[in-house]
Amino acid sequence: MNRHSIPIVAEQQQPAPAVDHRDQSEPFHRPEPVRPPAGAPNVLLVLLDDVGFGASSAFGGPCRMPTAERLADGGVKYTRFHTTALCSPTRAAMLTGRNHHSVGFGVIAEQATAAPGYNGTRPASAATVARVLQGNGYATGAFGKMHQTPTWEISEAGPFDRWPTREGFDRFYGFLGAESDQFSPVLYRDFTVVDPPRTPEQGYHLSEDLVDQTISWIDSVQTMDPDKPWFAYLPFGACHAPLQVPDDYLDKYRGEFDHGWDRQRELTLAKQKQLGVVPADTALAPWAPGLPHWDELDGDHQKVSARLMELYAAFLEHTDDQVGRLIDHLELSGTLDNTLVLYVVGDNGASAEGGMEGSFNYLAGLNGYTSTAAEVLERFDELGTPTSYPHYPASWAMALDTPYQWTKQAASHYGGTRNGLIAHWPKGITDTGLRHQWHHCVDITPTILAAAGIPAPQTVDGVPQQPMEGVAMNYTFAAAAAADRHTTQYFEIYGNRGIYHHGWTAVTLHRAPWLMATPGLQLPPLDEDRWELYDTTVDWSQSRDLADEHPEILEKLKARFLIEAAKHQVLPLDDRTVTRNAAPEDRPPHPLRGRKSITLYPHMNGLPEKAAPPLFNRSFTFTATLETDGKPCEGMLASVGGRFGGLALYVIDSKPVFCYNFSGGGHTFVRSGVALTADSHEVSVEFAYDGGGMGKGATATLSVDGVVVAQGRIERTTRAIFSMNEQFDIGVNRGSPVAEEFADRGRFAFTGTLHHVRVDLPAGGVGVPLAEQQRIALAVH
C-alpha cells in the first residue's frame, strides 16, 4: 500500500465480468477500507494551556498533578522539551510538524497580517497530523481549545477549510478562540453552536465536559470497530485565564502560597534537583527587571496575590484529575497498553498577562483598566467562581517558570519556551525514566507518525507537501542516553527571539510580556537589542550571560538566527502586538467590512466579536422587528459579550431594556416604563457615542415603533473587547449573561416572535480611527 499520497488508493484486481450474473464464476471483491499498519497504537495527545515548567509536581512544582506523575512513572519524562512561547503558534507547529512561521502562525490569528509567516492561515501544503492519520485509517477527534481557525472565517459564510473537521478531525467539540469561560462557554460541535449539557448551578465545568465527550467518542469508535485505532486530541482551555474552578476545589490550596513567589522559586528548584529534572548545580536564573518581589507588597496585595495563586494551583490539579478519569477509563477498557499518550504540560511558559497586581476581571485589564487589591478584596470570596474572571500577578509566572528566566511571550528565554512533556506507551516504551534530549513541539507530529509506522506523505488531497521540519523523538524511547538529534532551533514572538545550536543559545528580549497592551509604549529599534549568550551544556537555566566573554560565538549565532529566519518566513521581524493588523494592508478579511446596515436572524449561530459588526468607540443602532401576539413576553433580542463586559437589548416583564456592562465595572440600564402590546412591532436602541477618544461616553435612547420610551447616559464605554469567546447573539443568550437579572433564565430565548435585528452603523459614527482603536484592542493569548 502506497502511503506517500493521501487519499490512499487501494489497487485491487477484479475478475472479468460475465454478461449474466448467473454465469459469474469468480466473485467480485468489495473495496477494503484503508487501515493503518498492523499494531499501530491509539494516540492521545493532551495539551494544557499556560502552564510553566515549574508548575507541575511532576517537574518539581507546587501544583499537585498525580496523573502526570503516574504517567511519568510508567513512561518517560522529557526535561528539555520546548514550545514557541505562545499558544496558537505552538499548536500550529505541534499539529503540522513544521515551524509556526512556516505555516503562517508567527502570532495568533486575531493579529494576522498579510506577511506569509503571520497570516494566520495554514496552507494546504502543511496537512495536519490528524489529516495524515485519518487518511491512513485512523478515527480522529478533537475536544477543547483549537485556536487555529482564522477569526474572519468563523461565520455561516465560512470558508470552512480551516475548521477542525476540515483539517482532519472526524469530530470536534470545543471552542475556536483563545480562551473561554469555564462555566458558561460558547461551544461548537463540528460546525454548529451547541449549549453545554448542564448549567453552572447543575455543576457544569468545561474541563469535565471535554473529558466526558472524549470518553464517549472513544467508546463509540471502539464499540463499532474495535480494530480501528483512534487519535484523540485533548487541548484544555485550562489553565489559561479565567482561573475558574469547581466549588470542591476552591479550598484545596488555602494558605499554601502565603510565603510568596520568591520563596516558592527556592522551594521548587530544590524539588526539581531532587527529582533530577534539572542538574544538581542548576542556579536560579535572574529575576525579571520591573517585577516586584514579595516583600515589597503590603498585606492586602499579599493576601490577594496568594489567593489568586491558590486558584491557579487548584485549576491545574482539577484539570489533571480529569486527565486521570480518561486514563482510568482507558485502563479499565484494556486500551491503555497500546495507546501512546503524549501529555504536553503547557503550550508556553506561565502567563504574565495578569499584569503587576493580577485582576478580578482579566478582560478589563485587556482594555487597559487596572484593578487594585482593594477592589479585589471587595469581592474576595467570589474569586474562582462563575462571577469572577481572575488572573494572577506576573510575578507568579516567574515562580511557575522556575528555574528559568521570563515567561510566556518571551521566545528568547527558556521561561517562555521550556515545558514539561510526558510520553506513556506500555507496549512501545519499556525503558522508563528521565530523558534529557533537546526537543521542540515541532517534533510531536513526526513522533506520532513514527509510532504508527506511517510516513510523512508527499501529497495530500492533490497538494504537494512541505517537508517535515521536526525530528521524531522515538529514538529516545529505548535509549535514555542517546545523542540529541534536534540540534538547531530558532524562536521568535513579537520581536523576542533566540537561537539554539548544539547547546549554545543566543537570545534577546525585545519586549516584556506585561507591556503587551501599554498605550504609547516606545520600543527601541530591533537592531539595537542587546543579545545574551548562554552555554546550556554547563548552565542549564541560562543564568550566566557569556556575551562579553565569547563575542565571536555570539556573532555566529546571530547570523545563524537570520539564516533560519529567512528559511522559515520569520522576516520581516514585527514587534507590534495589539496594533499589528491596524494598517489597511494588514487588516484581515472581514465579512461585514464597509457595510452600513446588517440584518441578523435568530436562527444564526452567532458571531464572534472579531466577525461581528464593529461596535467599539462609535455610534450604532439596533432595531428589532418582532411580534408579541398580544401576550406577555420576555427574552433576548440582541446580546454582545457577557458577564465581564458587554451590552444587550432584551425584554423583561414585556418591557424593553438596554443594558451596557462596562468592562471596567458597573452596569447602566435604560428601561421602558411601558409594556409592549399587540401593536408593537419594532424595538430599537440608538447608541450615540460622544467621540473625542477611546472609551468615551455615550447616550442610549430606547424607542418602540419610533416613539422614545427611555434614555440613559453611559459615562464610560469599553475600549476594545468585551470577551474572547462570547458572541453577538440574536434571540437567545449564549454564554454568560450581560445582566444578572436574567442569569437564572438559561438561554433567555425571546418568547414572542423575533423576525430579525438590524444593525445600523452610521457614516461618521466612528469616534476613533481604527489604528487608534487597536492600540488597546485584542490582547495576546
pLDDT in tens, 664-677: 889 999 999 999 99
- Mean residue pLDDT across the chain: 94
Rounded Cα distance, 648 and 625, in Å: 15
E-strand ranges in 393-432 read: 418-424
Exposed e or buried b for every residue in 451-463, given b needs 16+ CB within 10 A? bbebebbeebeee
Rounded Cα distance, 599 and 20, in Å: 61
What is the helix (H) or strand (E) element at residue 262, kind and residue range?
helix 260-275
Other C-beta atoms lying within 10 Å of the C-beta of residue 134: 21
pLDDT for the residue numbered 771: 41
**DSSP label of 604:** S
Mean predicted confidence (pLDDT) in 631-638: 97
Q: Report the percentage of the chain scoring pLDDT > 70.
A: 97
Q: How far is CA 400 from CA 54, 373, 534, 542, in A?
A: 5, 21, 21, 16
AA letter at 654: S
pLDDT for the residue numbered 240: 98
Question: 269 in the Ramachandran plot: left (φ > 0), alpha (ψ -120 to 50) or beta?
Answer: alpha
Rounded Cα distance, 244 and 386, in Å: 7
pLDDT for the residue numbered 109: 85
Q: How confident is the model at residue 48 (pLDDT cuts 50, 70, 90)?
A: very high
pLDDT for the residue numbered 443: 99
- Closest to 208 (Cα-Cα) out of 189, 234, 232: 234
pLDDT tens-place string over residues 497-538: 999 999 999 999 999 998 765 656 788 999 999 999 999 999
Q: How far is CA 153 from CA 438, 615, 750, in A?
A: 37, 19, 28
pLDDT tens-place string over residues 212-231: 999 999 999 999 999 999 99
What is the helix (H) or strand (E) element at residue 504, kind and residue range?
strand 504-508
Rounded Cα distance, 42 and 161, in Å: 26
pLDDT for the residue numbered 366: 85
What is the helix (H) or strand (E) element at residue 71, kind and residue range?
helix 66-73
Output the pTM of the full model: 0.96
- Asked if the model's pLDDT at residue 125 lies above 50, the reply is yes
pLDDT for the residue numbered 516: 67
At residue 141, the 3 state secondary structure works out as: strand
pLDDT for the residue numbered 1: 80
- Asked if the model's pLDDT at residue 727 lies above 90, the reply is yes
Mean predicted confidence (pLDDT) in 567-579: 92
Rounded Cα distance, 271 and 277, in Å: 9
Rounded Cα distance, 392 and 291, in Å: 13
Question: 435 in the Ramachandran plot: left (φ > 0), alpha (ψ -120 to 50) or beta?
Answer: beta
Mean predicted confidence (pLDDT) in 607-617: 91
- Asked if the model's pLDDT at residue 749 lies above 70, the reply is yes
pLDDT for the residue numbered 768: 47
Rounded Cα distance, 309 and 306, in Å: 5
pLDDT tens-place string over residues 280-310: 999 999 999 999 999 999 999 999 999 999 9
- Asked if the model's pLDDT at residue 348 lies above 70, the reply is yes
pLDDT for the residue numbered 769: 44
pLDDT for the residue numbered 390: 97
Rounded Cα distance, 646 and 662, in Å: 7
- Backbone phi, psi, residue 459, to 5°: -135, 145
Which residues are paired to 618 by β-bridges?
Answer: 766
Rounded Cα distance, 327 and 424, in Å: 11
Rounded Cα distance, 159 and 142, in Å: 20
- Closest to 167 (Cα-Cα) out of 226, 122, 220: 122
Q: How far is CA 141 from CA 71, 217, 466, in A?
A: 22, 8, 24
Rounded Cα distance, 257 and 294, in Å: 11
pLDDT for the residue numbered 590: 76
Cα dihedral across residues 166, 168, 170, 175: positive or negative: negative
- Closest to 648 (Cα-Cα) out of 722, 710, 551: 722
Exposed e or buried b for every residue in 316-333, given b needs 16+ CB within 10 A? bbbbbbbbbebbebbeee
Rounded Cα distance, 175 and 234, in Å: 12
Q: How far is CA 279 from CA 6, 360, 516, in A?
A: 45, 38, 33
CB-count burial class (<10 Å; 0-12, 13-18, 19+) for 509: buried
**Cell for 743?**
442569569
**DSSP label of 359:** B
Length of the chain: 781
pLDDT for the residue numbered 262: 98
pLDDT tens-place string over residues 440-451: 999 999 999 999
Q: How far is CA 553 from CA 405, 413, 609, 657, in A?
A: 21, 18, 48, 67
Q: How confident is the model at residue 584 (pLDDT cuts 50, 70, 90)?
A: confident
pLDDT for the residue numbered 222: 97
Instruction: Report the chain's C-alpha Rg in angstroms.
Output: 27
**Alpha-helical segments (H) within 106-182:** 129-135
What is the helix (H) or strand (E) element at residue 588, kind and residue range?
none
Domains and CATH numbers, the chain: 42-493 (3.40.720.10), 496-582 (3.30.1120.10), 590-776 (2.60.120)
Other C-beta atoms lying within 10 Å of the C-beta of residue 523: 16
Cα dihedral across residues 439, 444, 445, 449: positive or negative: positive
Rounded Cα distance, 292 and 395, in Å: 7
Q: Are 467 and 150 in contact (CB under 8 A)?
A: no
pLDDT for the residue numbered 766: 59
Angle between the 444-452 and 87-96 helix axes, to the nearest 10 degrees?
Answer: 30
Rounded Cα distance, 323 and 44, in Å: 10
